[in-house]
């Protein structure tokens, strides 16, 4: 039986409400993967000057915390759907950092607010990923970039994961929706008006997408 978008999101909230208690204890694989993604995301981020950065699906703020250590004068905003995750991030009291509860498919920020939008390991939880891309295109400033890392693989492996692995994960209480092919990442970014600068399948079945907002989008 197909789930609604809200049902997927409630699954994710329940999953990560439980995970928030142990997320930074060394027993949470996704937290470690976010930290593992940091060097690649940092390398892309440093290609252009930045002052305002949004991390979508920030969890407990792992990526923002690392960025803040290196660039403490920048302004960072972390957004996550799970209130308990945001509470852990807020408790870190990082200067120049805001952490807010919100939906990746309905970004609660004005247009042209950010020089970069980051997303690590949360994209496969989005029931309507095209809404995420449209929101990113809106909140990025012209010239701003989306740096996204998630899962992908060859077409057959993606089919296997979506057909067998993810349904089993949902039965176990996880909010995983689907894994995209590289071509699907690219098509969604371009449909939102972003220019794809890089789309790669990297080691560990990691999708690495960099897309740029070239000009102001028409209303």
Q: With contact defined as beta carbons under 8 Å apart, do 74 and 50 qualify?
A: yes
The whole-angstrom distance between residue 1's C-alpha and the CA centroid of its chain comes to: 27
131 C-beta neighbours (distance < 10 Å), count? 18
Domain count, the chain: 1
Reported pTM: 0.92
Q: For residue 218, is it within any domain?
A: no
Q: For residue 156, is it within any domain?
A: yes
Give the pLDDT confidence of 152-168 residue by residue, as tens digits: 998 999 999 999 999 89
- In the prediction, which pLDDT does 219 show? 45
- In the prediction, which pLDDT does 216 show? 64
Q: For residue 202, is it within any domain?
A: yes
Q: For residue 190, is it within any domain?
A: yes
Q: For residue 177, is it within any domain?
A: yes
Rounded to 5°, the CA angle 171-182-173 comes to 10
- In the prediction, which pLDDT does 3 show? 84
What average pLDDT values come out for the chain (219 residues) when binned by 10 residues?
A: 86 89 63 76 95 96 93 97 96 95 98 97 95 98 97 92 91 89 97 97 92 75
The alpha helices in the chain, defined as continuous H runs, are: 5-19, 29-45, 62-70, 83-90, 129-139, 155-160, 166-171, 182-191
Indicate which CATH number applies to the domain containing 207: 3.40.50.150
- In the prediction, which pLDDT does 34 show? 67
Q: For residue 217, is it within any domain?
A: no
- In the prediction, which pLDDT does 93 show? 93
Q: Which residues contact 172 (CB under 8 A, 6 or more apart)?
A: none
* Distance separating alpha carbons of residues 136 and 177, to the nearest angstrom: 20
Q: For residue 219, is it within any domain?
A: no
Q: For residue 143, is it within any domain?
A: yes
- In the prediction, which pLDDT does 25 show? 64
Q: 152 is in which domain, residue-wise?
A: 5-212
């Amino acid at each position: 039986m197909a789930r609604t978008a809200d049902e997927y999101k409630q699954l994710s909230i329940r999953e990560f409400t439980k995970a928030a208690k142990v997320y930074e204890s060394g027993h949470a694989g996704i937290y470690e993967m976010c930290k593992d993604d940091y060097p690649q995301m940092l390398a892309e981020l440093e290609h252009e000057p930045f002052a305002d950065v949004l991390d979508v699906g920030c969890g407990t703020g792992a990526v923002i915390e690392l960025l803040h250590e290196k660039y403490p004068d920048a302004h960072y905003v972390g957004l996550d759907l799970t209130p308990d995750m945001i509470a852990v991030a807020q408790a870190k009291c990082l200067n120049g950092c805001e952490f807010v509860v919100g939906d990746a498919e309905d970004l609660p920020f004005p247009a042209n607010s950010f020089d970069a939008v980051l997303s690590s390991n949360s994209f496969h939880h989005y029931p309507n990923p095209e809404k995420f891309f449209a929101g990113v295109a809106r909140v990025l400033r012209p010239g701003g970039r989306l740096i996204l890392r998630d899962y992908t693989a060859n077409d057959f492996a993606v089919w296997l994961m979506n057909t067998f692995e993810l349904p089993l994960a949902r039965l176990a209480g996880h909010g995983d929706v689907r894994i995209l092919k590289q071509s699907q990442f690219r098509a969604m970014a371009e449909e939102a008006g972003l220019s794809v600068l890089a789309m790669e399948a990297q080691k560990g079945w990691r999708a690495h997408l960099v897309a740029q907002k070239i000009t102001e989008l028409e209303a």
